[in-house]
């Protein structure tokens, strides 16, 4: 990987981290995503707003939906790069495949956060290699910074945002009932 690629990866990952922090300030889990087109322009950004009412609202899914609306018909996201603060889950891998993304860059590995994510036998590289449109994958970009997103206490913004902040708070309160169940439930991947 060239130094220029490294610099670009870190620059867009920093943007994804800022989005994750923004989500955290709204009481959400710190997941951020940026999609960059073939010309190096960020065309879609999102932070995860999943809740029990809509567990599909991962940052990658939201950014893919937004980016696809900006592309010409039939172009999908060929030539685009998806930056995610964390190793994408199986659901998002499916969307990455169907969107025909060319490159996936992520920060922390699933195994970096064992109290949040269940250990699984297949990595994102395994899963995406077995698809119709296997993208290039680069993991561990600003890894420590992405892991640290879960350690930080950020001031919560009171104003609600689209995606159901109130639902999220209820979810957290319910989680306190059962530690074992909490680890399982918090595993959105």
Residues that are catalytic = 60
Nearest approach, Cβ of residue 117 and Zn ion (Å): 11
Check residue 86 for interaction with Zn ion (CB under 5 A).
Answer: no
The answer to whether residue 24 forms part of the interface with Zn ion (CB under 5 A) is no
Say which DSSP state 137 is in.
Answer: E
Q: Does 110 bind Zn ion (CB under 5 A)?
A: no
Tokens of 118: 């269940």
Task: Work out which of 92, 95, 103, 146 binds Zn ion, going by CB under 5 A.
Answer: 92
Q: Does 46 bind Zn ion (CB under 5 A)?
A: no
CB of 155 to Zn ion, least distance (A): 26
Sign of CA dihedral 33, 34, 35, 38: negative
Q: What are phi and psi of 150, to 5 degrees?
A: -85, -5
Q: Of 8 and 120, which has the nearer Cβ to Zn ion? A: 120
Nearer to Zn ion, 43 or 63 (CB): 63
The single residue listed with the structure tokens 């685009």 is 80
Which of 61, 139, 45 is closest to 96 using CA atoms? 61
> Which one among 33, 62, 63, 89 touches Zn ion, defined by CB under 5 A?
89
Q: In terms of CB distance, is 27 or 88 closer to Zn ion?
A: 88
Which of 8/143 has CB closer to Zn ion? 143
Report which DSSP code applies to 75.
Answer: -
128 binds Zn ion (CB under 5 A): no
Q: What six digits make up the tokens of 152?
A: 């930080």
| Count of positions on this chain that bind Zn ion (CB under 5 A) | 4
Torsion of CA 149, 152, 154, 156, to 10 degrees: 80
SS (H, E, C) 66-78: HHHHCCCCCCCCC
Residue 95 engages Zn ion in binding (rule: CB under 5 A): no
CB of 7 to Zn ion, least distance (A): 27
- Sign of the Cα torsion 132, 138, 144, 146 reads negative
Q: Of the candidates 26, 29, 57, 58, which one interacts with Zn ion according to CB under 5 A?
A: 58
**Which secondary-structure segment (H or E) carries 145?**
helix 143-148
Which chain residues interact with Zn ion by CB under 5 A? 58, 89, 91-92
């Amino acid at each position: 990987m060239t130094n220029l690629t490294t610099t670009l990866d870190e620059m867009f990952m920093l943007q994804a981290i800022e989005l994750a922090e923004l989500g955290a300030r709204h009481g959400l889990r710190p997941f951020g995503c940026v999609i960059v087109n073939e010309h190096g322009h960020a065309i879609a950004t999102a932070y995860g707003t999943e809740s029990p009412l809509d567990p599909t609202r991962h940052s990658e899914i939201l950014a893919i939906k937004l980016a696809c609306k900006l592309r010409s018909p039939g172009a999908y996201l060929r030539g685009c790069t998806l930056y995610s603060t964390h190793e994408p889950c199986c659901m998002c891998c499916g969307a990455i495949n169907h969107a025909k993304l060319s490159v996936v860059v992520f920060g922390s590995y699933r195994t970096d956060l064992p109290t949040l994510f269940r250990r699984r036998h297949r990595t994102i590289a395994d899963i995406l290699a077995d698809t119709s449109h296997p993208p290039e994958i680069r993991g561990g970009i600003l890894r420590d910074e992405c892991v640290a997103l879960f350690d930080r206490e950020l001031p919560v913004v009171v104003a609600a945002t689209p995606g159901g902040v109130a639902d999220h708070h209820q979810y957290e309160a319910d989680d306190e009932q059962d530690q074992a169940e909490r680890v399982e439930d918090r595993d959105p991947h």
